[in-house]
Amino acid sequence: MRTVGWLLSFALWSTASQTINFDSAKPGALPSGWIAVSQKSDGLPTWEVRKDSSAPSPPYVFAEVSNQNSGSVSPLAILNKMTVKDGDLSVKVKPVGGHEEPAGGLVWRYRDPNNYYLLRANALENTIMLYKVENGRTTPLESKGVRAFGVKHPVPANQWSVLKVQFHGPLFSVYFNHRRVFQVQDSTFAKAGKVGLWGESGGVTYFDDFHIAGK
């Protein structure tokens, strides 16, 4: 049976699992429980629920639609009702286009708009990268066991792909379309934090089936 809205369940070992498909949200607005934030305080990024017939869970998707170059830095949509320290985070993402690069990402262990981890898939560069944003400074993190930052990997525009990260302690495992592509080890943010989504300023990106499993 298709998930409607979001489901919340608890396993015996106190792990919460939640899937959000945005189908119970109001088009043109933020879904309940989400906030839009940015590193800059001179305006919020534009996030809204939209209809998309190609959605993995139709009819609605969550969209970052700052199509004009507004100067906003790192448009974020944060799920404001739970915190997670260790777990799995995934989303189905479709980079659509816009004024700048079509890209989308996942955010975890979020403290505030200037401190969090970010996994980004870029359809223009065909790269998947993991960053830490610390005190407002974005730094790419080196892949574990390889002297490289992320990977070159096809990220199709105007198609749905699955972006996922598993985070347990300092070890992060990155997956794209259910295949692990690299790992990162970093201990900058060790405590539980909020989770969310990232979009490119001046771009348009659609998201669906946002899934969190963790504690």
Looking up residue 24, the CATH number of its domain turns out to be 2.60.120.560
Query: Which pLDDT value is given to residue 215?
Result: 84
User: 14: how many CB neighbours lie within 10 A of its CB?
Assistant: 7
How far apart are alpha carbons 82 and 84 in whole angstroms?
Answer: 7
Identify whether 109 is part of a domain.
Answer: yes
Query: Which pLDDT value is given to residue 9?
Result: 35
CB 203, CB 81: distance < 8 Å: no
Identify whether 211 is part of a domain.
Answer: no
How far apart are alpha carbons 191 and 194 in whole angstroms?
Answer: 10
Identify whether 57 is part of a domain.
Answer: yes
DSSP state of 13: T
Identify whether 122 is part of a domain.
Answer: yes
Q: Which residue range forms the structural domain that includes residue 36?
A: 6-87+97-157+165-204
Residue-wise pLDDT for 174-199, tens only, equals: 999 999 999 999 999 999 999 999 99
Of 17, 34, 80, the closest CA to residue 207 belongs to 34
Identify whether 120 is part of a domain.
Answer: yes
User: How many domains would you assign to the chain?
Assistant: 1
Identify whether 33 is part of a domain.
Answer: yes
From first to last of its 215 residues, what are the pLDDT tens digits of the chain?
A: 344 343 433 333 346 789 999 999 999 999 999 999 987 655 677 899 999 999 999 999 999 987 655 555 679 999 998 899 999 999 999 999 865 678 999 999 999 999 999 999 999 899 999 999 999 999 999 999 887 899 999 999 999 999 999 999 999 999 999 999 999 999 999 999 999 999 987 789 999 999 999 98
Q: Is the pTM value of this prediction over 0.85?
A: yes
* Polymer length in residues for the chain: 215
